[in-house]
Amino acid sequence: MWPIPQIDDDNRAFWTGGRDGELLIARCDDCGYYIHPPTPRCPRCLGDDVHPHAVSGRGRVYTYTINERPWSPGIEVPYVIAIVQLEEQSDLRLMTNVVGCAPDEVAIDMPVQVEFRQQGDAYAPVFRPA
Amino acid sequence: MTMAESFEQRCIVSGIGQSEVGRRVTRGVLELTLDACIEAIADAGLTPKDIDGVFSWPGAVTRAEGLAPSSPGSSGPGVHAVIDALRLNTNWYSAGPETPGMLAAVIHGCMAVASGMCRHVLVYRALNEATAWRTNTQRVATDAEGVTGNMQWILPFGAFSGPNWMALYARRHMHEYGTTREQIAQISLNARRNAALNPKAVLTSELTLDDYLSSTMISDPLCLYDCDIAIDGATAVVISDAAYAPDTPNKAIHFEAVGSALHGRASWDQWEDMTTTAAMSAGGHLWSRTALEPADVDCAQLYDGFTVLSLYWLEGLRFCGHGESGAFVDGGERISLTGELPLATSGGQLSGGRLHSFGHLYEACLQLRGDAGERQVPGAKVVAVSAGAGPLASCLLLRT
């Protein structure tokens, strides 16, 4: 099965925003910089006015791999693991899965759109072709 | 060009030791560790009473929340176990996974010697992954309480293992620079050819390009022969003050430079330019500490936990330009034992066994002593050694 993240005060917005269909990413409200993974201080301006904000959920595939190996029971192979770059910021990226298409249809720079996969109490942001 | 003597230039490898290495080893991992340590201490002309420092990577770690993954059999005994087993009296010791890769243990050893805290330090790395994987059916961590720490950003998407992470990097390198699977294969084929000349290597049968291209895909574009091979085995070295060099019974090996710089996100998945790894900053760091140049290197024992890592190290250590490593290894001749830059002369981890960069360090020492037998690079005087992947990287330049 897909491993479940342990939800705490630091990561709750990211992992549970999907319950309401929102991808929530920490952002510094002083300088506007998006921060992932979330940290309490902005690494760019060192401000502490950091709060989760809903982003568009649109992005492009930066890189990907097709995993062929059944590492964990209950996950059907092959599946695509990818790094998706969100449109809000060039260095705002997530490790994720590309779903909703055949693995060999995935390509670098392919436009994708977020959707969510429930894993325990968490909603993992995964992406399908846009 | 003259440069002030750096801390590592005040240090030597005075002794080396390595246990039996194999996939069906009956000795336990502490036995293997002590085999290697006792051999290294004796090789240095010393006794345990002379050892006043101990370093290892990662130490007795059964669970890691940082960037260095921990898996069954990957830790070996910690430094406390070795200190006690050999009744050592130490001035300083340390081990831990939160360092710039595995050779950080060696760099820590040099720091301890050069600072005057210690005179002769023992540095080792031990693994029993072959036994652990044979006896432990749970190959990936499934945390009942949920995934925490850095791994929470990776594991929930089924990126369970190193090949997944490094395949993401490799794909980007192939995309931007046209690196091909046929080129990547040369790292694996070269290792296998060299392994046939190493009596301790575990995989020695012929491997062809067709075998490589038709093998099981693990995480596309990385296939079975892109991955190193789990073994049980331990390697140890003794690092001493260079003043001891005239008294060593075997040829002392000098540290010319070390590299460890991490310039970039301390993260696998957030690394900005996946056509590079931390090898780029660590390699640049190394060359900033010596008047020698890449062309002075006689052979290189580059990390090859996965084939593509050797390509990243070729670029990081400036043996070729950024993006040029595929062309550099194309056809395999340049990196063969008779080429301009022989790589993985022992068979590396891909065919020799996953000694986790300490096999490369041991081989570098054999080459510099002229003790590498049939695989000896004639007249080897300068050897590069590297360890690590993604955000983890450390490297050494050793000389006679």
Tell me the DSSP string of B86-149. TT---SEEEE-SSSSSTTHHHHHHHHHHHTTS-SEEEEEEEEEHHHHHHH----S---TT-B-G
Q: Give the tokens for residue A118.
A: 């429930």
Given B140, B147, B159, which is nearest A5 (Cβ)? B147
Q: Nearest C-alpha of chain B: how many angstroms from A41?
A: 16
Given A36, A108, A124, which is nearest B156 (Cβ)? A124
Between chains, do B158 and A79 touch, taking CB under 8 Å as contact?
yes
pTM: 0.97
Given A1, A63, A94, which is nearest B168 (Cβ)? A63
Between chains, do A37 and B167 touch, taking CB under 8 Å as contact?
no
**CB count, 10 Å around CB of A30?**
14
Q: Give the tokens for residue A12.
A: 């709750």
Round to whole Å and give the CA distance between B318 and B308. 16
Between chains, do B270 and A2 touch, taking CB under 8 Å as contact?
no
Residues in B closer than 8 angstroms to A91, CB to CB, are 270, 272
Residues in B closer than 8 angstroms to A2, CB to CB, are 156-158
Predicted local confidence at residue B137, as pLDDT? 62
B294 cis-preceded (ω within 30 degrees of 0): no
Round to whole Å and give the CA distance between B134 and B123. 28
Q: What's chain A's average pLDDT?
A: 97
Evaluate whether A123 touches A18 at the Cβ level (below 8 Å): yes
Closest chain A residue to B274, measured at CA: A63
Round to whole Å and give the CA distance between A128 and A113. 5
Instruction: For chain A, give the secondary structure using H, E and C.
Output: CCCCECCCCCCHHHHHHHHHCCEEEEEECCCCCEECCCCCCCCCCCCCCEEEEEECCEEEEEEEEEECCCCCCCCCCCEEEEEEEECCCCCCEEEEEECCCCHHHCCCCCEEEEEEEEECCEEEEEEEEC
Could you tell me which of A76, A105, A82, A88 has the C-alpha nearest to residue A23? A88
Alpha helices in chain B (DSSP H): 29-43, 79-85, 104-114, 129-135, 162-177, 181-195, 209-213, 279-287, 307-316, 325-329, 358-369
Could you tell me which of B377, B293, B388, B379 has the C-alpha nearest to residue B336? B377
Between chains, do A68 and B269 touch, taking CB under 8 Å as contact?
no
Residues in B closer than 8 angstroms to A37, CB to CB, are 150, 153, 270
Given B159, B169, B216, which is nearest A81 (Cβ)? B159
Round to whole Å and give the CA distance between B394 and B366. 20
Q: Give the N- to C-terminal CA distance of chain B in Å, as an integer.
A: 20
One-letter identity of residue B266: A
Q: Can you tell me which residue has the tokens 């005057």? A: B116
Q: Tally C-beta pairs within 8 A across A and B.
A: 116
Evaluate whether B255 touches B123 at the Cβ level (below 8 Å): no
Q: Nearest C-alpha of chain A: how many angstroms from B217?
A: 6
Closest chain A residue to B219, measured at CA: A67
Residues in B closer than 8 angstroms to A63, CB to CB, are 168-169, 171-172, 175, 274
Given A5, A62, A75, which is nearest B158 (Cβ)? A75
User: What is the CA B173 to chain-centroid distance, rounded?
Assistant: 22
Could you tell me which of B119, B146, B100 has the C-alpha nearest to residue B12? B119
**CB count, 10 Å around CB of B249?**
12
* pLDDT per residue of chain B (400 residues) written in tens, 0 to 9: 456 799 999 999 999 999 999 999 999 999 999 999 999 999 999 999 999 999 999 999 877 677 887 788 999 999 999 999 999 999 999 999 999 999 999 999 999 999 999 999 999 999 999 999 888 766 555 567 789 888 999 999 999 999 999 999 999 999 999 999 999 999 999 999 999 999 999 999 999 999 999 999 999 999 999 999 999 999 999 999 999 999 999 999 999 999 999 999 999 999 999 999 999 999 999 999 999 999 999 999 999 999 999 999 999 999 999 999 999 999 999 999 999 999 999 999 999 999 999 999 999 999 999 999 999 999 999 999 999 999 999 999 999 9
Between chains, do B270 and A37 touch, taking CB under 8 Å as contact?
yes
Sign, Cα dihedral of B20, B25, B31, B33? positive
Evaluate whether A58 touches A111 at the Cβ level (below 8 Å): yes
Rounding to the nearest 10 degrees, give the CA dihedral for residues B306, B311, B312, B317. 130
Which residues of chain A are at the B interface, by a Cβ-Cβ cutoff of 8 Å? 1-8, 11, 36-37, 62-69, 71-72, 75, 78-79, 81-83, 91, 93-97, 108, 119-120, 122, 124, 126
CA R_g for chain A: 15
Tens digit of each residue's pLDDT (9 = 90 or more) over A58-107: 999 999 999 999 999 899 999 999 999 999 999 999 999 999 999 999 99
- What value does the mean pLDDT take over residues A37-50? 97
Closest chain A residue to B272, measured at CA: A91
Between chains, do A69 and B218 touch, taking CB under 8 Å as contact?
yes
ipTM score over 0.90, yes or no = yes
Best of B152, B155, B184 to substitute, by most chain A Cβ atoms within 10 angstroms, is B152
Between chains, do B274 and A79 touch, taking CB under 8 Å as contact?
no
- Please indicate if any CB of chain A lies within 8 Å of the CB of B273: no
| Residues of B (314-343) whose Cβ lies below 8 Å from A | none
Between chains, do B161 and A5 touch, taking CB under 8 Å as contact?
no
Round to whole Å and give the CA distance between B335 and A79. 35
